[in-house]
Amino acid sequence: MASPLIKLNDGNSIPQVGLGVFQTPPDDTVRAVATALDAGYRHVDTASIYGNEAEVGEALVESGIARDDVFITTKLWNADQGYDSTLAAFDASLQRLGIDRLDLYLIHWPTPAKNTFVETFKAFAHLHDQGRISSIGGSNFEPEHLRILIDATGIVPAVNQVELNPRLQQEELREAHAQLGIATEAWAPLGQGALLDDPTVTAVADAYGKTPAQVLIRWHIQLGNIVIPKSVTPERIVSNFDVFDFELTEQDMSSISSLGDGTRLGPDPRTFN
Ligand SMILES: NC(=O)c1ccc[n+]([C@@H]2O[C@H](COP(=O)([O-])OP(=O)(O)OC[C@H]3O[C@@H](n4cnc5c(N)ncnc54)[C@H](OP(=O)(O)O)[C@@H]3O)[C@@H](O)[C@H]2O)c1
């Protein structure tokens, strides 16, 4: 079955479930992405800092699937922020990916102390105007960073990709996204594996005859999040996409949501530079 699509504020659509490749070693990336494409995924989330853009592109070519049928996201690394350096980094990413148009480009972190995310986003807007990027957005942006960006450029990012899972539910950000029309994309959707043996999650999974990962991915889908679980393990890649034939009840959604305790796995975006 195909992933549902989420409509973005620029008119484009993104498949709601994609494959993340953070910490997927380059040597494993072609196989992981090929497995995903074969299972029906049409969305891959990489970043220049992951060091596997070339392998993502290689898998895409080897799959024989038309370029326009697969949604590719990559991210601009912190050291490349700034107008001219962004244009150069974008060219390098595109060359590694072996494509001539990117679906979604994200500023990986706001790095507020550097104060360069506005000029970086202006370069994104320029590339968007040229038709070289279909959608532009941020990652790890807090509400105040979104407001600065929008006030300075008049452009509302299409997507903000943030750490989000039942432990860190990002209520304030999701509310800001809803008001601004920004799609919420969840990284570490499985808590980087840490949530998979939580007794609340395993109890719900047992009740549906599903895996804990499938139940967590459903929780994201039903909240309306774009979700990009990562795995290098073929059976997991396949089963993580087999999530479109069941629905969690309100009660089970609430029981998973009761796990919220604010645990953050990654750095704090307000201080990470
Ligand atoms: N924007 C950002 O700053 C940022 C930061 C981090 C991540 N991301 C993006 O978000 C994606 C997902 O986040 P993440 O990789 O940090 O964490 P995640 O998807 O929450 O968890 C990945 C971990 O869960 C394991 N796993 C996956 N499916 C499983 C299953 N069905 N059963 C058991 N274990 C399973 C994986 O193991 P195996 O691989 O060994 O199977 C891996 O250890 C990343 O790949 C990346 O694309 C973005």
Per-residue pLDDT at 48: 98
Share of the chain above pLDDT 90, in %: 99
Give Cα separations from 208 to 221, 239, 248, 249, 255 (angstroms). 16, 14, 9, 11, 14
Q: Note the pLDDT tens digit of each residue in 155-175.
A: 999 999 999 999 999 999 999
Determine the residue of 19, 21, 22 to mutate for testing ligand 1's pocket, defined as the one with the most ligand atoms within 8 A of the Cβ atom.
22
Share of the chain above pLDDT 70, in %: 100
Beta strand ranges found along the chain (DSSP E): 5-7, 13-15, 19-20, 43-45, 71-76, 102-107, 133-139, 159-163, 183-187, 226-227
Q: Note the pLDDT tens digit of each residue in 49-72.
A: 999 999 999 999 999 999 999 999
Cross-strand bridge partners of residue 75: 106
| Mean pLDDT of the 239-263 span | 98
Q: Note the pLDDT tens digit of each residue in 213-246.
A: 999 999 999 999 999 999 999 999 999 999 999 9
Structure tokens at 102: 């990117």
| Mean pLDDT of the 116-133 span | 98
CA–CA dist 166, 199 (Å, integer): 13
CA-based end-to-end distance of the chain: 40
Given the CA of residue 236, which atom of ligand 1 is nearest to it? 31
3-state secondary structure of 201: helix
| Residues whose beta carbon lies within 6 Å of some atom of ligand 1 | 20-22, 45, 108, 139-140, 161, 187-193, 196, 211, 213, 228-233, 236, 239-240, 266
Per-residue pLDDT at 167: 98
Q: How confident is the model at residue 1 (pLDDT cuts 50, 70, 90)?
A: confident
